[in-house]
Amino acid sequence: MASLAKTLIVKAVTLIIVLIGVLFLLAIIMGATGLSDKVLNSTLTAEVQEYKQQLSRQIKDPTVLERAVEEYKKERAAALGLDKPWYVRLPQLIYRLLFLDLGYSRTLQSSWGSNKISDLIIDRLPNTIILTTTGILFTSLVGIWMGLYIGSNIGSRSDRVVSILSAASYALPLWFTGLVLILALAYGPKVLWGVQIFPPGGMVSVPPPKEPLAYALDLLWHLALPLTASFIVFFGSWAYTTRNIVFNVSQEDFVNFARAKGLPEGVVRSRYILRPSLPPILTNLILSLAYSISGYIITERVFNWPGMGSLYYQAITALDEPVIFALTYVFTLVYIVARFILEVLYVVVDPRIRLS
Amino acid sequence: MIREFFKSPAGLAGAAILILFSLISIYVVLTFPLDYGTRYWSNPKFWEDYPKLVPPVWYNYFVPYRLPQHYVENMYRPSEVSENVKRWVFNYTLDSDKFPTGIIFKYSNLTFYGDVPVISLKVKRPDGREVVLLDYDTGIPPPRPGEAAPYVRFVENPRSIILSADPQAIRKVTAFANDLGVACTTSDVREASLLPYIVFGQPLSKNCVAESFKTLKGTYVFEVEMVGDPRDEIGLVRLVIQGAVYGAMGTDYLGRDLAQGLLFGFPVALFIGGVVALLATLVGLALGILSGYIGGRVDEGIQRFADVMNNLPTLPLLILFVFVLGRSIFNIILVLVVFGWAGTTIIVRSMVLSIKSSQFVEAAKLAGASSWWIMRRHILPPVLPYAFALMIFAIPGAILSEASLSFLGLGDPSIPTWGQILQQAFDNGALQNFAWWWILPPGLLIIVTAVGFVLVFFALEPIVNPRLKRQ
């Protein structure tokens, strides 16, 4: 038991080191390339310009004006942290992030106009969960169920179909599938016959329906295309991975032995094959869910879905440094928490790890 | 081994795709200039004459009506000369059910001796009516003070009049529409780009909309006339009737010939995929061998690092790095390599572990061979074939990543790629206009390339991986 605790602690420490490492890497990239300074300077120039214009209406004397502007510039530079070099400024940012103080964005705002990054995330996260998490859960559950079935029917026709699908899913980008679906099912019917079968993007209609039931149906209508795209692309690979895991386990000697003993096939399948197949399947599921928080950045853009992925993209194009840092931190944190949950789960579902 | 590879249908199909694509790439590299992207593709001026956002020529075979072809005619000398009048006559035959998308009148190398010559354009329609499109060209700069005859104009940049946007032509055509009995105002004609409909159409109703016109089939005679000094001349007169279909692949919103952009994408995709996969595999192979053979702390360190790099959510980081470092093709390659080596390292290490304990390594050690020698002569050769297969497998990943980055607008702006064509299509209304020829081909090419490599990998894997061979 003591060794188990030690293993878990070692894992936890490594994961935290990874987290800090990623943030430091980020700080060096932003700092050493001069990007951080450039962004802050352009913000400063804009602020000072605005202040000067405001002030010039009240103060007519150019020297007094110049002095006041100079003072304001110095004050703003200190507030933005521009008076210190990046290797002092950015580590402070990291330190704050580590204690989950995400800070404030420079330009991006949440839908109710807040500049707090935690508000931004609270605003966007549910949307991402609605889109990607439901997509992954739905696809993976169907895929895993299918994989379990064909894993014990290797070489059948459905097995071959799934193998081809899995190869296709490696080569098929989700965002392109989304584009094709929008083209064929949203704009195609609209342009050719003037009927709107599916919406081309967005999360709800504008304006959104008032009634809760109508709202939910509207949301489902908007979800249909992204979910279909995600199903087409990921179903094959889920089924194929599960099939391989199940197949490998069913080749093991203890399975043959159970069969030789004359145990009914149902018992062999659920007790002898399914149980040891569970940890790797679980790993896949939990890691995909963790990844899904960072969203399908491109897919959200294609479907104009206001989630975490499009937030990250907006932060990068708007050069909103604190948001970039905070989101990268949150994505990495989620991944690391997921990895740790997995380590604990392995111990629970796999007695071999518990005992060794 | 090669025979074994070609026995599998997957290998055969994959190899066929890759050979075809490589041949196309070689053709493109030999025939396209290297600065094609900056000089032509991203230069809207070059594509001025091309019809905008029209489907490919073969689209005509799939629709019940006929779409007009693109028409370009150059004339280097006048068809008729009489005293001080010169005429250039163009015969254009319209036999389609749909209308051309525009008319462009161009000329260059204008030389005149006295006053600015009067250059006019009119068209004689099959129904005998005559429409004057331009009375005289107001865009010729008059002689500057101190400039001596002959005055030469439009040498570097030709004079180019896009009739649908020219106020004089719109006025004339609106008057003609009224003659035909269609109630049009100049602003109707300008905003709905009705000029080609009026010039080439006969009215069905009085409403000033595109639907109230039907094409008037037959031969149209366009006549360019220059009145001035007898010595005045024009080097080149060009008439462009923009079609409603173009080329093998259609055009985009700037009129760019998509066939050219798609062709140029072949070598770029293969180059990026190949270089990234090669470098990432080399790094992964080296680290994997070191990690597996040396063991201990080094092994622990490399494996932990590789594990992290292999599992981090890479797309956000890829986007960030390319954005920060700058959108050049070498930065993209660099970033893809940095995030691409880890998987190979983990697999190679596990192979090295089993080779390390085999008897020939033991024997070499006893014989006094150095670690370097053993790694190079005994570990590397058996690992190499599988590393090669892994490299093939890494190529489609790199191609897809580059396409993703390009689609987010992070591609190298000086080199057209399939991902960038898709990005421009998405950002410039290809979906809203149902421009399927602009969206489907680049995406399908990306997918087919990736499938080609994946198929080759599938055929290669059982051959190079001894463990899979038994099954």
**Each residue's pLDDT tens digit, B7-17:** 788 888 889 99
Interface residues of B toward A, Cβ cutoff 8 Å, are 304, 308, 311-313, 315-317, 319-321, 323-325, 396, 400, 403-404, 407-409, 422, 426, 431-434, 436, 439-440, 443, 446-447, 450-451, 454-455, 458
Distances (CA, A) of B152 to B109, B117, B229, B236, B428: 7, 12, 14, 13, 39
Q: What's the mean per-residue pLDDT of chain B?
A: 89
Is residue A315 within 8 Å of A324, Cβ to Cβ? yes
Which of B131-135, B305-309, B364-368 is least confident? Answer: B305-309
Q: With an 8 Å Cβ cutoff, are B434 and A191 in contact? A: yes
Contacts of A319 (CB under 8 A, 6+ apart): A35, A39
Q: With an 8 Å Cβ cutoff, are A302 and B433 in contact? A: no
Calculate the CA A30 to chain-centre distance: 22
Residue position matching structure tokens 């020297």 = A63
Is residue A44 within 8 Å of A80, Cβ to Cβ? yes
Q: With an 8 Å Cβ cutoff, are A179 and B426 in contact? A: yes
Encoded tokens for B457: 């990998």
pLDDT of residue A295: 62
**Cα dihedral A302/A306/A309/A311 (nearest 10):** 120
B88-110 average pLDDT score: 91
pLDDT of residue B91: 92
Q: With an 8 Å Cβ cutoff, are A183 and B440 in contact? A: yes
Residues of chain A contacting residue B443, judged by C-beta atoms under 8 Å apart: 173, 176, 179-180
Asked whether the CA dihedral B425, B429, B431, B437 is positive or negative, the reply is negative
Q: With an 8 Å Cβ cutoff, are A171 and B450 in contact? A: yes
Encoded tokens for A280: 């790797």
Is residue B109 over pLDDT 70? yes
Residue type, A301: R
Grade residue B470 by pLDDT with cuts at 50, 70 and 90.
Answer: very low
B94-117 average pLDDT score: 90
pLDDT of residue B471: 36
Q: With an 8 Å Cβ cutoff, are B312 and A301 in contact? A: no
Q: How many alpha carbons fall within 13 Å on the CB side of residue A108?
A: 31
Chain B CA closest to residue A339: B311
Q: With an 8 Å Cβ cutoff, are B434 and A35 in contact? A: no
Is residue A284 within 8 Å of A234, Cβ to Cβ? no
Q: What is the DSSP letter of A208?
A: P
Which of A88-102, A305-319, B274-288, B343-357 is least confident? Answer: A88-102
Q: With an 8 Å Cβ cutoff, are A183 and B439 in contact? A: yes
Residues of chain A contacting residue B455, judged by C-beta atoms under 8 Å apart: 167
Chain A CA closest to residue B408: A298
| Model pLDDT for residues B239-272, shown as the tens digit of each residue | 999 989 898 899 988 889 999 999 999 999 999 9
Closest CA–CA distance from residue A164 to any residue of chain B (Å) = 10
Encoded tokens for B91: 């015969």
Encoded tokens for A326: 């905070």
**Parallel, antiparallel or unpaired: strands B85-94 and B159-162:** unpaired
By CB atoms closer than 10 A (0-12, 13-18, 19+), residue A95 is exposed
Interface test with A, best of B408, B410, B453, B467 (most A CBs within 10 A): B408
B431-451 average pLDDT score: 92
Is residue B440 over pLDDT 90? yes
Chain A CA closest to residue B437: A183
Q: What is the DSSP letter of A271?
A: I
Is residue B109 within 8 Å of B209, Cβ to Cβ? no
Contacts of A190 (CB under 8 A, 6+ apart): A196, A200
Interface test with A, best of B62, B300, B315 (most A CBs within 10 A): B315
Q: With an 8 Å Cβ cutoff, are B323 and A179 in contact? A: no
Out of A170, A173, A331, whose CB is closest to B316? A331
Interface test with B, best of A22, A298, A324, A336 (most B CBs within 10 A): A298
CB pairs under 8 A between A and B: 102
Encoded tokens for B111: 């030389």
Residues of chain A contacting residue B433, judged by C-beta atoms under 8 Å apart: 191
Grade residue B445 by pLDDT with cuts at 50, 70 and 90.
Answer: very high
pLDDT of residue A134: 83
Q: With an 8 Å Cβ cutoff, are B315 and A297 in contact? A: yes
Chain B CA closest to residue A15: B308
Higher pLDDT, B395 or A204: B395
pLDDT of residue B394: 92
Q: With an 8 Å Cβ cutoff, are A26 and B458 in contact? A: no
Tell me which H or E stretch contains A122.
helix A117-128
pLDDT of residue A148: 81
pLDDT of residue A355: 55
Q: Which pairs count as long-range contacts for A103-111, CB under 8 Å and 24+ apart, including other chains? A: A103/A322, A103/A326, A104/A322, A105/A315, A105/A320, A105/A322, A105/A323, A106/A43, A106/A318, A106/A320, A106/A321, A106/A322, A106/A323, A107/A318, A107/A320, A108/A311, A108/A314, A108/A315, A108/A318, A108/A320, A108/A323
Encoded tokens for B419: 């991902």
Q: With an 8 Å Cβ cutoff, are A179 and B317 in contact? A: no
Ranges of residues in chain A whose predicted pLDDT is under 70: 1-3, 294-295, 350-356
By CB atoms closer than 10 A (0-12, 13-18, 19+), residue A312 is buried
Interface test with B, best of A187, A191, A325 (most B CBs within 10 A): A187
Interface test with A, best of B303, B305, B308 (most A CBs within 10 A): B308
Q: With an 8 Å Cβ cutoff, are B316 and A328 in contact? A: yes
Q: With an 8 Å Cβ cutoff, are A179 and B404 in contact? A: no
Chain A CA closest to residue B419: A176
pLDDT of residue A350: 67
Closest CA–CA distance from residue B147 to any residue of chain A (Å) = 47
Interface test with A, best of B53, B318, B319, B327 (most A CBs within 10 A): B319
Q: With an 8 Å Cβ cutoff, are A183 and B315 in contact? A: no
Highest mean pLDDT among A208-222, B19-33, B316-330: B19-33
Residue position matching structure tokens 């990054």 = A117
Q: How many alpha carbons fall within 13 Å on the CB side of residue A210?
A: 0
Rounded to whole angstroms, the Cα distance separating A81 from A89 reads 6
pLDDT of residue B337: 93
Length, in residues, of chain A: 356
ipTM higher than the 0.90 cut: no
Quote the radius of gyration of chain B (alpha carbons, Å): 32
